[in-house]
């Protein structure tokens, strides 16, 4: 809800025909918000920040480097180089 206030997102009434709407309304109220209401750059920043909180960047980069080495090695095998 903080992001809704921070980015001044317009509410979208919850669909009463959705079987989940009663439970949602009890928890959050009668409005909902769409992800695409956020500017794509803002959404990208939010996602990147959330992912980086849980990502071991050093381990990730080690895997990326290993994959690149493996790709080059396999390419060499495939081309006979």
Residues 6+ apart with CB under 8 A from 30: 13, 14
Residue 12 main-chain phi, psi, to 5 deg: -130, 115
Model pLDDT, residue 34: 82
Residue 7 corresponds to which tokens in the numbers above? 């980015």
pLDDT-derived band of residue 64, with 50, 70 and 90 as boundaries?
A: very high
CA 46, CA 77: separation in Å to the nearest integer?
Answer: 41
The mean pLDDT value of the chain amounts to: 90
CA 14, CA 33: separation in Å to the nearest integer?
Answer: 9
CA 10, CA 12: separation in Å to the nearest integer?
Answer: 7
Q: In the predicted model, what is the mean pLDDT of residues 69-81?
A: 94
pLDDT-derived band of residue 38, with 50, 70 and 90 as boundaries?
A: confident
DSSP 32: E
């Amino acid at each position: 809800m903080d992001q809704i206030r921070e980015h001044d997102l317009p509410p979208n009434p919850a669909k009463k025909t959705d079987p989940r709407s009663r439970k949602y309304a009890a928890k959050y109220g009668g409005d909902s918000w769409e992800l695409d209401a956020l500017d794509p750059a803002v959404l990208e920043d939010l996602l990147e920040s959330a992912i980086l909180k849980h990502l071991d960047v050093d381990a990730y980069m080690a895997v990326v480097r290993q994959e690149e080495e493996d790709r080059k090695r396999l390419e060499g095998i495939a081309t006979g180089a």
